[in-house]
Copies of this chain bind each other. A is one copy, B any other.
Amino acid sequence: MIVVMKKNACKEEINRVSAQLQEAGFHCHLVVGTEKTIIGAVGDKSRLLNIPLEALPCVEKVIPILAPYKLASREFQPEDTLIQIGPVTLGGSELHVMAGPCAVESEEQILLTAQIVKEAGATILRGGAFKPRTSPYSFQGLGEEGLRYLALAREKTGLPVVTEAIDSASVDLVAYYADIIQIGARNMQNYALLKKVAKTGKPILLKRGLSATIEEWILAAEYIITAGNSQVILCERGIRTFETCTRNTLDLSAVPIIKHLSHLPIIVDPSHGTGKWRWVTSMAQAAVAAGADGLMIEVHPSPEDALSDGAQSLNPANFRQLMENLRNIARYTGKKLRPNDSRHLSCPEHTKLPPTEEGYRPKEGVM
């Protein structure tokens, strides 16, 4: 930690700040410049402490040197984290595409979509049962009914399922049905929710907040890891900028930066990242070329009838074309995409459906 003193700070003030730091367990090194004095404070606790020295009139600013996260950092764990989701290993040499509709709308819709995306080469099925919507008047999802349809689609196709939990109350319910629990962008700093999903032991897909810095995003992952769950998948989905042609600005530089700063796998969602189906294919290709471990793509059998986010969903033909393109690009970025319609996915152990007729029964006293 570097403390920059104001130009006119006197010796007593500098000594007082040093003393305060030493009390807190730091070793202090003074660097007296021609204009300003800085104090280099070295100590084990530097990551944990938050001494508000900037409240002092004699202090100009405080500059942290160490990253505020630890367990999620590449320095802490040099090897890539691999995440096992049923038959799928994310973060390794294979590129994985999670595809499906924004929202589960009916049994028929999700079964049909699952079949389509599997045949095109997707290895994980996405679909929302609980939808956080900006307007209280928009379709909010089918709830548990949607989760059951997702589980049914997994049984039929062998595709593991990723779906979102939007509040603590429904985490156990979502965990009962899902293979990966998604935390949406708006909930990236919903710390109560982060701690709750961590406890499920399921892999967590953590979307970047609309205006979250990369550091804040890794800190959100750190919340999950410190709560005992290191299976975190980061998902870049666009940040908010002044540009209005796109719904968000997809920040693909997050891919190599996350790979540098952290050992966690990172995937990209070009559907939310652009908000328009027209730009999804190009940005999906770009994400793979930037080194992403996977993609999350919205696909709808008939986007113009979708109850949610139809404008950004690919139709089946466009999705198939995209997968063809990706197969070629991935080859040259150190990843492989599986051949279409992988037979070995059919009916593996993990697809044994939760007893959908009975459905989820919360354990007594659990919530």
Which A positions have Cβ atoms within 8 angstroms of B? Answer: 2, 4, 7, 29, 31-36, 38, 40, 42-44, 46-48, 50, 52-56, 63, 65-66, 68-69, 75, 132-139, 166-169, 186-187, 189-193, 210-211, 213-216, 219, 222-223, 226, 239-246, 249-253, 255-257, 260, 273-274, 276-279, 281-283, 285-291, 300, 303-311, 313, 325, 328-329, 331-333, 367
* A33 CA / B279 CA spacing, docked (Å): 27
Check if B137 sits within 8 Å of A48, measured CB to CB: yes
Cβ–Cβ < 8 Å partners of A29 in chain B: 29, 31, 40
Q: Give A68 Cβ to nearest chain B Cβ, in Å.
A: 5
Check if B137 sits within 8 Å of A216, measured CB to CB: no
* A63 CA / B310 CA spacing, docked (Å): 15
Check if B311 sits within 8 Å of A52, measured CB to CB: yes
* A215 CA / B132 CA spacing, docked (Å): 16
Cβ–Cβ < 8 Å partners of A4 in chain B: 65
* A53 CA / B311 CA spacing, docked (Å): 7
Q: Give A193 Cβ to nearest chain B Cβ, in Å.
A: 7
Check if A256 sits within 8 Å of B241, measured CB to CB: no
Given contacts A29-B29, A189-B186, contact A52 B310 (CB under 8 A): yes
Q: Give A28 Cβ to nearest chain B Cβ, in Å.
A: 9
* A169 CA / B193 CA spacing, docked (Å): 10
Check if B36 sits within 8 Å of A65, measured CB to CB: yes
Cβ–Cβ < 8 Å partners of A191 in chain B: 132-133, 136, 166-167
Q: Give A167 Cβ to nearest chain B Cβ, in Å.
A: 3
